[in-house]
Structure 1
Amino acid sequence: MNTFRLLALAGGLAAAAPALAQQGTKADPAMLAKIKDEGMNRSKVMETAFYLTDVCGPRLANSEGLTRANQWTQKQLTSWGLTKATIEPWGTFGRGWDIEKSYVAMTAPYYHTLIGAPKAWTPSTNGPLKKQVIVVKATTEAELEKYKGQLRDKIVLLDVANPPKTSFEPDAKRYTAEELQKMADFKPEPPAAKPDDAEMEKRMAQRRTMMALRTKMSDMILSEGAAAILSTRGGSDGTFFTSNGAPYAADAKPVLPELEMAPEDQLRLIRLVDAGIPVELELETRTKFQSQDLKGYNVVAEIPGTDKKLKSEVVMLGGHLDSWHAATGATDNAAGCAVMMEAVRILKASGVQPRRTIRIALWGEEEQGLFGSRNYVKNHFADPATMKLLPDHEKLAAYFNLDNGAGKIRGIYAQGNEAAAPIFREWLQPFADLGATTVTLRNTGGTDHLSFDAVGLPGFQFIQDPLDYGTRTHHTNMDTYERLPADDLKQASVLVASFVYQAAMRDAKLPRKPLPAAKPEQRM
């Protein structure tokens, strides 16, 4: 960008300065212009995303791929000038697991390769298998009993609960102006009445029954001497959703080799068997467990604060680095990590001298229950089970998270924090031309900002265009680099960098909601 254009941009941003000053900020409009210029014209976000996905590979919790990503991000953040780049243990997680080989095909009544991958934490087949298949369809224990004595040395096909249907809706979409306005107009309502004890017990009983049937089915298939299992959690057009087929605990009991399949392939096999046509499959999986180091890790690094009074306070930004294993975890969540890394790179390249310390965190083991961020919060700030606050609880100014795919930022969820909402509206004003204008009091769930909110800290997730996150990429074999729109990630990086900068320069920390009550852990 030439000097004239940079000055013009700075002038436009300066128009927002009076409003920013009313919110108690020391943000410099010229610095906001530099942030925008660096992020839009000299971006490294796609290069970072390439290394996180194609080079590091799948990043399942405690796997070799996640270890590669931890080591690479630590080195990369250091190379950009951040300090204290550390691979920090958060506590005990469990076994690591990696795929070394995976192959499955139908060999009778004719040959055809099939789409599938081993379920996480399942064992190897101990060499190639070539076996007849049997379909198991059971929704009750009585139905399950019918298969006793029929499963030995067979490959078991489980039924498909949700067959794919023809859809006339596009896979990918962006938020419309009407949808964003609805978010902006959202008013918190009184909490809905909790189900009475009888209704709650009914739901819990249904869940216990379902889980008991699953456990009994797995135990019976194993004890009957089946060779392997094929299953599916759904999907369409060659896309399948993936998960774990066994616990990651070091003392987990044995299970059979199991592959998750594209539902179209699974359904074809089932139709053939149901028609009385013998079906034979050939498959081999080779998986590797890692039990030497059971700890989980986060990667953290800092841009030190410069204000004598405020440098002990911290503005945090982050996203989870781990992924599932059937693809390379591009939209979930290499995109968020690449954006957060690019945001701190932009700040360093722009010469920001933040009043508060800026700390990036790339979380581990999010997919198994927000473990990385929850334990970081517990270790550094407070335990939500007791709400006993640690000294650093008072020093966190804000936490910003990105983990809703690869779409550009359209605004931010204020998490019901009414005092923060007008501040965010002012911060978005200089970047309205980038399509980010919406502040909603709504909360979005399921990711790492919740770990901070759970102990009364101001944690926020940005609103992102959904694209094809929910239909095609989230936890699937299609979550690859090709699903990352460069312009969207550039825009997101600029917005995150600007929010972090402005939070680091304010006179005061962001407002907080009242402290929540302690919530002791509950077990079923």
Structure 2
Amino acid sequence: MNRKIFYALLLSAVTTLSAFAQTDQQMLDRIKEEGLNKSEVMQTAFYLTDVSGPRLANSPGLKRAQDWAVNQLKTWGMVKATREPWGKFGKGWEVQKNYAAITAPYYHAIVAIPKAWTPGTNGPVKGNVVLIKADSVSDLDKYKGTLKGKIVMLDVKGNVENTFRPDATRLTDSALTAMANATPAPARQQRRATTGGRGSLASMLALRSALSKFYVQEGVALVLSQARGTDGTVFTTNGASYADTAKTVAPELETSGEDYQRILRLVKAGIKVEMEADIKTQFLTNDLQGYDVVGEIPGTDSKLKDQLVIIGGHLDSWHAATGATDNAAGSAVMLETMRILKRVGFKPRRTIRIVLWSSEEQGLWGSRYYVLNHFGDPKTMVLKPEQAKVSAYYNLDNGTGKIRGVYLQGNQAAGPIFQQWLAPFKDMGAGTITINNTGGTDHLSFDAVGIPGFQFIQDNMDYSTRTHHSNQDTYDKLSEADLKQAATITAWFVYNTSQRDEMMPRKPLPEVAKN
């Protein structure tokens, strides 16, 4: 090759690379400006929490939030924004009235939340609290014919002691270093369950099922159960199935540990405890389908526009509060990511799609069925053509804490790529890449069919100790600075994923799931 031609080509290549680098830096600066200084993430969080209310699966609150999110995506200029049905879920349910108090030996309004998918009291009820001591199904016989109209509770020793640990914490440098230095975990060895363990579990489940039937048969007015939590925090759960064929159960209140133990001490001391309650709940059966919110920024590259970069978080919550940290935070960050990219005028090479999941709290149903409908079946590993077109899925669902890095989910090849993308954010505390897996949320649905699915590492804050599934999970627990940081980093990840010449590296396909 002629030396002059060689140097001309070299100069052209260097100039092109420099232009690309300059373009990336300009886009990074614009993303930071929009995400950190012109953020709308808290406004979005306000509408998802305070305005929409609790967002239990298939509840009116979830539909309010979904409709608002669809309208907002359209307002920001996204295409194909809609509520997409994914399949049958079951009954919707919401609390319409909730009052309960001790009236004797003195008055005290208690902290208590109806268990999800349980009925109300059908008007005000008033009665004595009766203690049931039952270690086996046969122990229930002595209570037959004595509980009609009564308020019942079990003899449960609850832990409401002070732990002397802070509620809110951030990941320490040593914890992040340990995560960064982690090595791939060996394949799990199947544990052999002992007969005694299985027997104990079976006995407990049998007693729980028998109690549920017994309460209905005996016509109890209300069941009190002790919630996990201290200091008036109630970590709530469901008290019945959401299936449209589920059997009727008795009204049940999940009570704060302090109130439950106070009532229990009084009753066990032989002091008469009288309570009054008025609980109204509503079941909704007019639409049993589940829905996800979907919207897109279309790709512009003729060769890559059919490929996808997907981001998401679950929009549904539990019902005791407004699901701010679990997971309006993640949903607001992902909506803000789309807003940032649209506002800075980004024209992606690949199509960017946001999906806000429903029914995550009941078993990742929204994302599992979305993946089944669009990408393939993890049980058979029969894949659909669109599976090969997804470069990556990014998820956020661990509270309000800022992003500290990424769980690779065993995808080692993605590590150096993410390390480079995080470099501009080290001064914001983000820089840890760990080979570790993390579970319990929607990226697992993508990973199960061989799509690179990632969850960001986040600071814990008071997620586990105070807000996760509790009556404390309100807008007030959100950290504005952390959500701005998270949205800015996510936007940068999405930008890079959509622009790189190659798709994100993939792990080998999972083996077919065995029964």
Give the TM-score, by structure 1 length. 0.93
Are the counterparts in 1 of residues 158 and 261 from structure 2 also a CA contact under 8 Å?
Answer: no
Return the match for 2:497 from 490, 500, 503.
503
The code of the aligned residue for 2:305 comes to: K
Which residue of 1 is the match for residue 36 of structure 2? Answer: 40
**Cα displacement (A) at 1:258:** 0.7
**Offset from partner CA, 1:256-275 (integer Å, 9 cap, x none):** 11111111001101110000
- How far apart in 2 are the matches of 1:178 and 1:482? 29
Aligned-pair distance for 1:142?
4.0
Matched, 1:405 2:394: no
Cα separation, partners in 2 of 1:506 and 1:137, compared to 1, 3 Å: farther
The aligned residue for residue 90 of structure 1 is 86
Q: Which residue of 2 aligns with 1:345?
A: 339
TM superposition outliers: structure 1 runs of 4+ over 6 Å? 24-27
User: Structure 1 residues 424 and 280, CA, compared in 2 at 3 Å: closer, same or farther?
Assistant: same
Matched residue type, 1:492: A
Q: Distance in 2 between matches of 1:433 and 1:130?
A: 59
**Structural mapping, 1:2-151, within 5 Å:** 28-151=24-147
Aligned equivalent of 1:176: 172
Q: Is the CA contact (8 Å cut-off) linking 1:160 and 1:263 kept in structure 2?
A: no
What SS does structure 2 have at the residue aligned with 1:259?
strand
Aligned partner of 1:514 in structure 2 is 508
Change (3 A) 1:200 1:513: farther
CA distance in 2, matches of 1:76, 1:30: 27
CA distance in 2, matches of 1:442, 1:403: 16
Hey, what does 2:212 align to over in structure 1?
218
Letter of the 1:489 partner, please give it.
L
Question: Is 1:339–1:489's contact at 8 Å kept on the other side of the alignment?
Answer: yes
Unaligned residue ranges in structure 1 (runs of 5+) = 1-17
Matched residue SS, 2:261:
helix
Letter in 1 for 2:71: K
| Alpha-carbon contact 1:59-1:325 (below 8 Å) kept | yes
The CA deviation string for residues 439-464 of structure 1, in whole angstroms up to 9 with x for no partner, is 00101100000000011110000000
- Distance in structure 2 (CA, Å) of the matches to 1:44 and 1:443: 31
Tell me the CA shift for residue 338 of structure 1: 0.3
Q: Tell me how far apart the structure 1 counterparts of residues 86 and 414 of structure 2 sit (CA, whole Å).
A: 30
User: What is the percentage of aligned positions where both structures have the same residue?
Assistant: 58
The structure-2 alpha-carbon separation of the partners of 1:202 and 1:312, relative to structure 1 and needing over 3 Å to count, comes to farther
SS of 1:420 mapped into structure 2: helix
Q: In the alignment, does 2:187 pair up with 1:191? A: yes
* Residue of structure 2 equivalent to 1:3: none
The 8 Å contact of residues 105 and 272 in structure 2, kept in 1 or not, is answered as yes
SS of 2:413's equivalent?
A: coil
Q: 2: CA distance between counterparts of 1:125 and 1:432?
A: 55
- What's 1:324 paired with? 318
Among candidates 459, 463, 469, match of residue 465 of structure 1:
459
- Cα offset, 1:139, TM superposition: 3.1
Cα distance, 1:203 vs structure 2: 4.1
1:278 aligns with 2:268: no
Larger Rg: 2
- Secondary structure, in 3 states, of the residue corresponding to 2:362? coil
Counterparts in 2 of 1:401-480, with a 5 A limit?
Answer: 401-480=395-474
Question: Contact between 2:329 and 2:483, CA under 8 Å: does it hold in 1?
Answer: yes
CA contact (8 A) 2:314 2:330 kept: yes
Asked if the contact 1:159/1:231 (under 8 Å) is kept, the reply is no
In 2, Cα distance between equivalents of 1:235 and 1:316: 36
Cα deviation for residue 350 of structure 1 reads 1.0
User: Deviations for 1:133-155, whole angstroms, at most 9, x for unmatched residues?
Assistant: 11223333344444333322210
Distance 2:442 2:476 in 1: 25
Distance 1:358 1:26 in 2: 23
Letter of the structure 2 residue corresponding to residue 280 of structure 1: E
Give the counterpart letter for 1:468 in structure 2. Answer: D
What is the one-letter code of the residue matched to 1:181? T
Match of 1:299 in 2: 293
- Which string of whole-angstrom CA distances, capped at 9 and with x for unpartnered residues, describes residues 103-122 of structure 1? 00000111111111111111
In 2, the alpha carbon distance for the partners of 1:512 and 1:27 equals 27
Say if 1:203 and 1:142 are closer, same or farther in 2 by CA, change over 3 A.
same
**Cα pair 2:110 2:259 within 8 Å, conserved:** yes
Does the alignment pair 1:491 with 2:491?
A: no
Query: Does structure 1 retain, via aligned residues, the 8 Å contact 2:236–2:318?
Result: yes
What secondary structure, in the 3-state scheme, does the structure 1 residue paired with 2:143 have? coil
Q: Using the alignment, how far apart are the partners of 1:322 and 1:34 within structure 2?
A: 32
Partners of 1:484 and 1:429 in 2: CA distance: 26
Q: Provide Cα deviations, 1:467-493, integer angstroms capped at 9, x if missing partner.
A: 000000000000000000100000000
Q: 1:202 to 1:516 in 2, by over 3 A?
A: farther
Q: Which amino acid aligns with 1:425?
A: Q
2: CA distance, partners of 1:414 / 1:487: 25
Deviation at 1:411, TM superposition (A): 0.4
Does structure 2 conserve the Cα–Cα contact (< 8 Å) formed by 1:88 and 1:297?
yes
1:255 & 1:27 partners in 2: Cα distance? 61
TM-score, normalising length: structure 2: 0.94
Partner of 2:358: 364
Closer, same or farther: CA 414–472 of 1 in aligned 2, 3 Å: same
| Coordinate RMSD, CA, aligned | 1.7
Distance 1:182 1:489 in 2: 25
Amino acid of the structure 2 residue aligned with 1:317: I
Partner SS state of residue 98, structure 1? strand
For residue 28 of structure 1, report the CA deviation from its aligned partner. Answer: 1.2
Does the alignment pair 1:244 with 2:238?
yes
